Copies of this chain bind each other. A is one copy, B any other.
Amino acid sequence: MVISIIGVGLLGGSFALGLREKYPHVKFIGVDASVVNQKIALAKGIVDEIATLDEALSISELNVLATPVDVINTLLPDMLDKLPEGATIMDLGSTKELICSLADNHPKRNQFVAVHPMAGTENSGPGAAFKELLENKNVIICGKEKSHPDSLGLVEAFLRDVGMKIHYMTPVEHDLHLAYVSHLSHISSFALGLTVLDKERDERAIFDMASTGFSSTVRLAKSSPQMWAPIFDQNKQNVSKALEDYIELLKKFKNAIDDRDTDTSLSFMNRANDIGRILAGIEKK
């Protein structure tokens, strides 16, 4: 069997590394616009060969589309046009509505499986890939009823093999939830990092005074802008609403502090504490 990874970055690379352990006889082909990524992917043993997209597509049973989401949109219709019978494309994009709607209009829709693994780090590129990234993490498959059982079954088997727990959702549900539990926390972190950098021209002060709490809250501000800009754009309505809710709450918090209304501050924080119960579950996973 031949599997192609289109976009050999953190996610695509980690998926390949996780699979290789279980499937020593599968040949992995890498497709990447960056020559540096190609070299690192080969040197790190993520893939066996580098090929062009057309070459890869003509010989692969499974094509894993792991580029930023704007590139997924550009590539997917053309890839479906050229996809041989019996072969499958899965994407790993962080948005699903637009990507699925592009696929829905294509006659080969049932050879496509829309996938979003809830895993990542603030680092990017094949150098950051590691085979345990997807282990014990959740993964969402969207619109599974539109995928052919053979394509779906193959993708599900591979996702389970790298240790993921599969959930199913519509693309609309996916994008709404993700705006809150993922996209918003990235924006809050980017904005927090920038607020502090703008204020603290003397970075020595940040260095000396910031504790590990700051470090943890602002960690996602290291994430790749090239990956996240198109995600926010594709999920613009939900992200905008989530940001509106967040800004509204921050304003209320600020008013409570300005008014020395400690009861309101306390009530905000007591309610927020409840996230602890939920986090306990996430961290155990």
Contact = CB atoms under 8 A, between A and B. Distances in A.
What is the copy number of this chain in the assembly? 2
Contact of A215 (B191, B194, B222, B279): B279
Contacts of A283: 212, 215
A56 interface: no
Contacts of A181: 196, 200, 205-206, 209-210, 214
Interface in A220-235: 220-223, 225-226, 228-230, 232-233
Contact of A177 (B193, B209, B233, B275): B209
Interface of A: 118-122, 137-138, 140, 167, 177-178, 180-182, 184-200, 203, 205-223, 225-226, 228-230, 232-233, 236, 239-240, 242-247, 249-251, 253-254, 257-258, 260, 262, 265-266, 268-276, 278-279, 281-283
Contact of A195 (B178, B180, B226): B180
A260 B186 CA distance: 17
A245 B199 contact: yes
Contacts of A190: 253, 268-269, 272
Nearest to A185: B217
A222 B279 contact: yes
A95 to B, nearest CB: 13
A243 B233 contact: no
A194 to B, nearest CB: 4
B257 A225 contact: no
